[in-house]
Amino acid sequence: MGKYNPWSLYSPRLIGAFKKEFPDVQTVLHIGDSKEVIRKLLEESAHVGAVGISPNNKRIEGIKFFSDELVVITPPEHPLAKLDEVAIDVLAKEPLVWRETGSGTRTVVEKYLSQGGLNVDKLNIALELGSTGAIIAAVEAGAGISIVSRWAINNELALNKIATLKIKDIPMDRDLYLVYPRRKNKSPLVEAFLNFTLQRRNT
């Protein structure tokens, strides 16, 4: 079973729980951006994926699974770390550690910033990386600041490795969608995984 998920910290826990209940099912976790997820599903080299944007493909369907908040993260010693929120024009001038082109997270973040009146083509992107974990590590190391899922930084917050703040007047919520090939009848494996995942969401 192939499963793609931009939340690399969340997926292993979910798959581990699924494996306990269905020990005979072989599970393999791959990490990729949203475009890669859809491509793998269309190629049928993955059964289920998770993306941060609703799929825009007639051959793919999905269900909303998880809601999260996107927050600005900085090193604890950064001047912005003392604030609760930052103005969007101040954010735009900071060196940014950003997700790569094609990432669902990047698409959602830049959409919010554009709606706030910012020209995203003028962002000061100092570094582009391929995973949320790599971005968090780069921010910890002082490479810049970023915007990531609040859920993904629980450990770093607990250890005081990073600080968080919001963008003034721009609520930044995002949804996670489980996606799979559109068929008249879902495979028993996909049906079992979806039902298991939704049950855990509602508990």
Domain regions of the chain by residue span = 2-66+175-201, 68-174
Closest CA to 166 of 150, 152, 154: 150
Q: Same CATH fold, 68-174 and 2-66+175-201? A: yes
62-98 per-position pLDDT tens digit: 888 877 889 999 999 999 999 999 999 999 999 999 9
Q: How far is CA 139 from CA 27, 125, 157, 167, in A?
A: 32, 13, 13, 17
CATH for the stretch 68-174: 3.40.190.10
The pTM score is 0.67
Looking at domain 2-66+175-201, its CATH class is alpha beta
104-157 per-position pLDDT tens digit: 788 889 999 999 999 999 899 999 998 888 999 999 999 999 999 887 888 888
